[in-house]
Amino acid sequence: MPKEMELKQGAEMFQILNENGEINQGQTLPDLSDEELKDLYRWMLKIRTFDGRAIKLNRQGRLGFYAPMAGQEACQVASMAALRKSDMLFPSYRDVGTAMYHGLSMEKVFLYSRGQINGMNIPEDVNMFPPQIIIAGHVPHAAGAGWAFRLREEDHVAIAFFGDGATSEGDFHEGLNFGAVYDANTIFFTQNNQYAISVPVSKQMKSETIAQKAIAYGIYGIQVDGNDALAVYQATKEAADRARKGEGPTLIEAVTYRVGPHTMAGDDPGRYRTKEEEKNWTSEKDPLKRFRQYLESKNLWSDEEEKQVEEETLNEMNETIKKVDQMPKGTVAELMEDVYTETPAILKQQKDEYLSWKEGK
């Protein structure tokens, strides 16, 4: 289990399963049943399958903005599995896997990608904010939500997901400082996927780890193998338990890798990273391969189950995209809806002017 420690130079990264899917000596497994373990892998496989098909839909012009998630499934699924449905999720644009696990429908994800207003209209029974495009812009919001939970003496937790590049933004530091000072029930989850678009981690910071930045704010910090689902689960579960007991926030750095491009908007990873590097992460450190090897060692997974999950996911995606294709496109007027509880007078005026102009054309 991870130590509640202050990370210093050279601190050991927390890992339960090694790259061969074997339990590291001396490590204690999370308290998960066989069915819960299988469900973790099902969701990881669903997200991997979803990602591959979503990239194709984007290239066909049937989806809009899309940021590939492949390689980061353990980070997104195992962390959310360690939380409750009543906890509040603050995802960034690459974290639709966390949102889907937390209850956001595939239809909403597709609508969001296509820029339609209903994709940002989160259902009442899904405790999350819409995915944030502004880098680190949601970190202070998560700190505020965690503070609200603490003030209300509620044992809910807020979790914000962001990449390594976000740690260079002021909002990251402001959010951590605020959350630390007010002992917010917040988990700050960094998916260190090695690159902020084309900028490597070595150009983002001089410190050896992101997790050790927690020291400056007086909060818990841990670096975890982000491709080890069990380690991610355990680290997140312990962070949530501390927050629920009023022991303040945690900064988690999950070391992982973005397999695909930064987004489908023209990024070419081949211009800033080598084939050897990519092969090392995709063939040797793949989170699905590692977790499946562990499940197979316990006789908990088969090729038939693998195929079934893939087919079910693709069938759901095919039916959903057909439905979304038939929906009317969004309008300019809709951009002003679902932003404020009570629309400000100036926005009402602008909407009326727009509608009047449109009618007069």
Q: What confidence score (pLDDT) does residue 11 get?
A: 60
Give the C-alpha separation, 116 to 120, whole Å: 8
Tokens of 130: 């819409």
State mean pLDDT over 283-302.
97
Burial of 27 from C-beta contacts in 10 A (0-12 / 13-18 / 19+): middle
Tokens of 7: 């990370």
The residues pairing with 158 across neighbouring beta strands, listed in sequence order, are 88, 186
> Is 272 a residue of the active site?
yes
* Per-residue pLDDT at 166 exceeds 50: yes
Set 262, 290, 292, 294: catalytic member = 262
* Per-residue pLDDT at 4 exceeds 50: no
State mean pLDDT over 168-174.
97
Give the tens place of pLDDT for each residue, 110-165: 999 998 888 888 999 999 999 999 999 999 999 999 999 999 999 999 999 999 99
* Per-residue pLDDT at 6 exceeds 60: no
- Which band of pLDDT confidence, cut at 50, 70 and 90, is reported for residue 201? very high
Give the C-alpha separation, 239 to 359, whole Å: 55
Give the C-alpha separation, 119 to 111, whole Å: 4
Set 114, 141, 258, 292: catalytic member = 258
The residues pairing with 254 across neighbouring beta strands, listed in sequence order, are 191, 224
What pTM, to 2 d.p., does this model score?
0.93
Query: In this structure, are residues 77 and 43 in contact, taking their beta carbons and an 8 Å threshold?
Result: yes
Half-sphere exposure of 118 (CA within 13 A, CB side): 12
> Is 262 a residue of the active site?
yes
- Identify which of 69, 82, 132, 81 has the alpha carbon closest to the alpha carbon of residue 242: 82
Q: What confidence score (pLDDT) does residue 358 get?
A: 83
Q: What confidence score (pLDDT) does residue 333 get?
A: 79
What percentage of residues in the chain have a pLDDT greater than 90? Answer: 86
State mean pLDDT over 37-57.
98
Q: Please, what is the Cα angle at 197 between 98 and 113, to 5 degrees?
A: 45
71 backbone φψ class: left, alpha, beta (φ>0; ψ -120 to 50): left
Give the C-alpha separation, 122 to 296, whole Å: 37
- Which band of pLDDT confidence, cut at 50, 70 and 90, is reported for residue 226? very high
State mean pLDDT over 74-78.
98
Give the tens place of pLDDT for each residue, 312-361: 999 999 999 999 999 988 888 787 777 788 989 999 999 899 999 988 87
Residue 246: phi, psi to the nearest 5?
A: 80, 25
- Identify which of 56, 117, 48, 120 has the alpha carbon closest to the alpha carbon of residue 91: 120
Q: What confidence score (pLDDT) does residue 50 get?
A: 98
Which of helix, strand or coil describes residue 189?
Answer: strand
CA dihedral 68, 53, 316, 338 (to 10 degrees): 40
State mean pLDDT over 44-52.
98
State mean pLDDT over 183-207.
96
> What does the longest C-alpha to C-alpha distance in the chain come to?
74
State mean pLDDT over 66-76.
97
Give the tens place of pLDDT for each residue, 231-252: 999 999 999 999 999 999 999 9
Give the C-alpha separation, 9 to 5, whole Å: 12
What is the residue type of 292? R
Q: Kindly report the average pLDDT of the chain as a whole number.
A: 94
